[in-house]
Amino acid sequence: MGIKKLLIANRGEIACRVISTARRMGIRTVAVYSDADRDAQHVRMADEPVYIGPSAAQESYLNIDSLIAAIRLTGADAVHPGYGFLSENAAFVEAVEGAGAVFVGPPASAIRAMGLKDAAKASMAEAGVPVVPGYHGADQSPEVLAHQAAEIGYPVMIKARAGGGGKGMRHVTRPEDFLQALEGAQREGEASFGDPSVLIEKFITHPRHIEVQVFADNQGNFVHLYERDCSLQRRHQKVIEEAPAPGMTPELRAHLGDIALRAARAVNYVGAGTVEFIVDGSGPLRADGCWFMEMNTRLQVEHPVTEAITGIDLVEWQLNVAAGLPLPLEQADIPLSGHAMEARIYAEDVPKGFLPATGRCSQVAFPPGASFAHGDIRIDSGVAQGDEISAWYDPMIAKLITHGDTREAALLRLTRALEDTRIVGPTTNVTFLHQLASLSAFETGAVHTGLIENHLDALTQESEPDAASWALAALTMLDLLQAQPLRGWRAWGQARYVCHLLHGDQSVEIGVTDAGESGYIVDESRYIVEMRDDARILVSQDGGPGRSYRVHRDKETVTVFSQSKALVFKQRAQGGQAEAAAGDARIMAPMPGVIKAVSCTVGDHVETGAPLIVMEAMKMEHTLLAPKDGVISSVTVVPGAQVSDNAVLIEFEETQDD
């Protein structure tokens, strides 16, 4: 008997994606939501919404009792966990089954076998799966861990044994940095997974991250759906993924697939899973340069690239397997067509160190024709225009997926689609993604996990407005782009206006003369502005070639889109605004969060760049540094304190020169 009512124990993009397939299959859906998600898109999409608790994930999406109560309340006969939250929690699987529902995923035994990285590596080694050299022992004393790191040889990776998503991971290159990195990894492991234990592994130089999608049913059938390359990462979080992996040979693909299936069979796996490998990328890919890293016992964030190259809906397969049906295809029948890429669009301020951003999305516009459906361009998103990006959860806005006959075609579609993506409200990483996709090393397929770090300065440069962007912002702010009869006419001559604009720290006074049909004179230049039917604005300066822009006005701000750049301008009242005093020395919270550690007290002398506070926001730790030399004059927070955006945390006096 098939599934009739499906509860999605998740939120955001993945909840919307599961609902989309379930709806096509005729399955009714139940969305769960917290206080922060009352008006979220996944709640609006589902057939039935159920409230499960306060905004904090521990009290809602991680609250097993609340979720089980929702199952019983709605009569759901199956539960899809999505990814993250409780998707790899064996106790949740058992609770779901105890409530009489089917868990759409592997059995609890498989999750336990693969859930702790140290135990998983040990069992995989016994099964003949190659693993990276490292320490996976039970003794977690700092002295033993430091000794093991020295024995393995630097550089090493510290990893939370219950970890995932880059949380609880630290790359350490020097012995003197080990203990501080260990403390950070343990804190993140405890906060994210309730387990501070870590393992130590040899860091493979020039590594690539290649993973294999596996699937199994309850009849003992196992297949793999080829590989994905997830090497473009920052802080161990994936940024752009693709399938197939660049440089992959048919022989190595078959070899990795066989190893991945061996790993899945070793734990009697059922459903969708991903076996991840660390691969030596210093030269051509080879069979003896691939090591098992971990197995994710759930659907991966990047599963759409596999769907794009195989034409298979993995969520549909999950639901059918959970309903007891056998896999519909054997290994030899699984197609592999073309190339696909996925870019993760986040609300984050890249020039400010990728700090998570919050705010209401006053405009959300994706490339024309993009949807959850298979196609050349696909958008998986849990955010719609008017939705709020809060500080409570991961700040992902959308995943942009493109497909083409070749890698070059998929990449070209990705860069063009990023140019057609416009989000106003929270700061996003769209420009960063476009620059990364345009990087020559990525274009040639020379990918590895250190690629972003190696080009970080170039990739994170703040976008500077060109003259046409300033002019277009002024014309929009002055409402001069609206069609008006007798535009620019005055009895005494041409109309002239003055606009005072701010962009970041830049303050500019712009003089505009409305020249009617001949355009506008902005300061010393003449601009011809042509409004297109698709909302594009073609701007030419001083008779030069036209360039395409889009604009969005939101109260006192104007956002000018130029290719992938989103340039935000504000109107400044005449007379200027107060500037911060040159001697002002404070550390303020860059976002709402929880203070995890404070490493200074009143009276301490600190130097520029010294780490003073560690705060956790959106499930990641952020270290706040001293902006200048000085003496601490006040500390307003203690570990465990919850702080709001822009709260003053530390004040200090500048060190005076003798």
Give DSSP secondary structure letters for 615-651.
Answer: EEETTEEEEEE-SSSEEEEEE---TT-EE-TT-EEEE
Q: Of the given ranges (14-18, 67-71, 361-365, 611-615), which has the lowest mean pLDDT?
A: 611-615
- Tell me 538's DSSP state: E
Determine contact, residues 231/442, Cβ cutoff 8 Å: no
- Tell me 174's DSSP state: S
The residues that bridge with 380 in the sheet, in sequence order, are 399
Total Cβ atoms within 10 A of residue 553: 17
Please report which confidence band the pLDDT of residue 488 belongs to, taking 50, 70 and 90 as the band edges: very low
- The bridge status of strand 78-80 relative to strand 5-8 is parallel
d(CA 550, CA 420): 10
Please report which confidence band the pLDDT of residue 355 belongs to, taking 50, 70 and 90 as the band edges: confident
Residue 505 scores a pLDDT above 90: no
Residue 20 scores a pLDDT above 90: yes
pLDDT at 655: 64
Whats the size of the chain, residue-wise?
Answer: 658
pLDDT at 114: 92
Residue 323, SS3 per DSSP: coil
Residue 430 scores a pLDDT above 60: yes
For a pLDDT cut of 90, what percent of the chain falls above it?
Answer: 69
Top-confidence range, 282-286, 307-311, 562-566: 307-311
Q: E strand or H helix at 50, and its extent? A: strand 48-53
Higher pLDDT, 390 or 343: 343
Alpha carbon 622 to its chain centroid, in Å, reads 16
Question: Cβ contacts of residue 582 below 8 Å, gap of 6+?
Answer: none
Residue 164 scores a pLDDT above 80: no
Please state the rounded mean pLDDT for residues 347-371: 88
Residue whose structure tokens are 């009143």: 602
Determine contact, residues 222/264, Cβ cutoff 8 Å: yes
Residue 583 scores a pLDDT above 50: no
Q: Of the given ranges (20-29, 340-349, 549-558), which has the lowest mean pLDDT?
A: 549-558
Task: Give me the chain's average pLDDT, please.
Answer: 90
Mark 488-500 as b/e (b = at least 16 C-beta within 10 Å). beeeeeebebebb
Please report which confidence band the pLDDT of residue 1 belongs to, taking 50, 70 and 90 as the band edges: low
Please report which confidence band the pLDDT of residue 573 belongs to, taking 50, 70 and 90 as the band edges: low
Residue 492 scores a pLDDT above 70: no
Question: Cβ contacts of residue 134 below 8 Å, gap of 6+?
Answer: 121, 152, 156, 199, 200, 201, 202
Please report which confidence band the pLDDT of residue 590 belongs to, taking 50, 70 and 90 as the band edges: confident
Q: Name the catalytic one among 187, 208, 228, 298.
A: 298
For a pLDDT cut of 70, what percent of the chain falls above it?
Answer: 94
pLDDT at 642: 80
Please state the rounded mean pLDDT for residues 634-645: 85
pLDDT at 170: 94
Q: E-assigned strands of 421-470? A: 422-424
Dihedral, 240, 241, 246, 252 alpha carbons, nearest 10: 150
Cα separation of the two ends of the chain = 83
pLDDT at 577: 35
Angle between helices 117-126 and 250-266 (to 10 degrees): 110
Please state the rounded mean pLDDT for residues 236-250: 96
- The full DSSP string for 246-308 is TT--HHHHHHHHHHHHHHHHHTT--EEEEEEEEEE-SSS--GGGEEEEEEE-S--TTHHHHHH
- Tell me 641's DSSP state: -
pLDDT at 269: 97
Residue 473 scores a pLDDT above 50: yes
pLDDT at 654: 66
Determine contact, residues 429/350, Cβ cutoff 8 Å: yes
Q: What does the block give as tokens for 656?
A: 């005076």
Residue 65's alpha-carbon distances to 56, 69, 98, 191, 547, in angstroms, are 15, 6, 12, 20, 56
298 a catalytic residue: yes
Residue 491 scores a pLDDT above 80: no
Please report which confidence band the pLDDT of residue 618 belongs to, taking 50, 70 and 90 as the band edges: low
Residue 586 scores a pLDDT above 90: no
Gyration radius (Cα) of the chain, Å: 27
Determine contact, residues 4/74, Cβ cutoff 8 Å: no
Q: Of the given ranges (27-41, 357-371, 419-433, 546-560), which has the lowest mean pLDDT?
A: 357-371
Q: What does the block give as tokens for 112?
A: 């336990």
Please state the rounded mean pLDDT for residues 109-117: 89
pLDDT at 53: 97
Higher pLDDT, 69 or 496: 69
Angle between helices 178-193 and 142-152 (to 10 degrees): 120
Residue 548, SS3 per DSSP: strand
Determine contact, residues 92/81, Cβ cutoff 8 Å: yes
Please report which confidence band the pLDDT of residue 494 belongs to, taking 50, 70 and 90 as the band edges: low
Residue 105, SS3 per DSSP: coil
Residue 582 scores a pLDDT above 50: no
Residue (of 249, 244, 206, 208) closest to 226 by Cα position:
244
d(CA 15, CA 611): 38
Residue (of 178, 125, 141, 186) closest to 156 by Cα position:
178
Residue 619 scores a pLDDT above 80: no
Question: Cβ contacts of residue 147 below 8 Å, gap of 6+?
Answer: none
Q: What does the block give as tokens for 3?
A: 């599934």
pLDDT at 538: 92
Q: Of the given ranges (419-433, 434-448, 578-592), which has the lowest mean pLDDT?
A: 578-592
Determine contact, residues 28/7, Cβ cutoff 8 Å: no
- Backbone φ and ψ for 648, nearest 5 degrees, come out as -75, 125
pLDDT digits (tens, 9 = 90+) for 117-161: 778 888 888 888 998 888 988 899 999 999 999 999 999 999 998
The residues that bridge with 497 in the sheet, in sequence order, are 512
Residue 385, SS3 per DSSP: coil
